[in-house]
Chain A
Amino acid sequence: GAVVSQHPSWVICKSGTSVKIECRSLDFQATTMFWYRQFPKQSLMLMATSNEGSKATYEQGVEKDKFLINHASLTLSTLTVTSAHPEDSSFYICSASSIARGGELFFGEGSRLTVL
Chain B
Amino acid sequence: AQTVTQSQPEMSVQEAETVTLSCTYDTSESDYYLFWYKQPPSRQMILVIRQEAYKQQNATENRFSVNFQKAAKSFSLKISDSQLGDAAMYFCAYSFNTGTASKLTFGTGTRLQVTL
Contacts and interface: CB of A to CB of B under 8 A. Distances in A.
Given A91-B43, A103-B98, A44 B103 contact: no
B71 interface: no
Contacts of A109: 42-44
A44 B99 contact: no
B100 A103 contact: yes
A104 interface: yes
Contacts of B76: none
A31 B101 CA distance: 9
A32 B103 CA distance: 10
Interface of B: 42-47, 91, 97-109
A110 B42 CA distance: 9
A102 B98 CA distance: 7
A49 B103 contact: yes
Query: What class of interface size applies to chain A in its complex with B?
Result: 20 to 34
A107 B44 contact: yes
B91 A105 contact: no
A31 B98 CA distance: 13
A56 to B, nearest CB: 12
Contacts of B102: 103
Nearest to B45: A107
Contact of B91 (A43, A97, A103): A43
Contact of A32 (B43, B101, B105): B101
A114 B104 CA distance: 25
Interface of A: 1, 31-32, 34, 38, 42-46, 49, 91, 93, 95, 97-99, 102-105, 107, 109-110
Contacts of B105: 46
Contacts of B97: 103
15 contacts: A38-B43, A42-B108, A42-B109, A44-B45, A44-B106, A45-B106, A93-B45, A99-B99, A103-B98, A103-B101, A103-B102, A105-B98, A105-B104, A109-B44, A110-B43
Contacts of B99: 99, 102-103
B108 A43 contact: yes
A114 to B, nearest CB: 14
B51 to A, nearest CB: 14
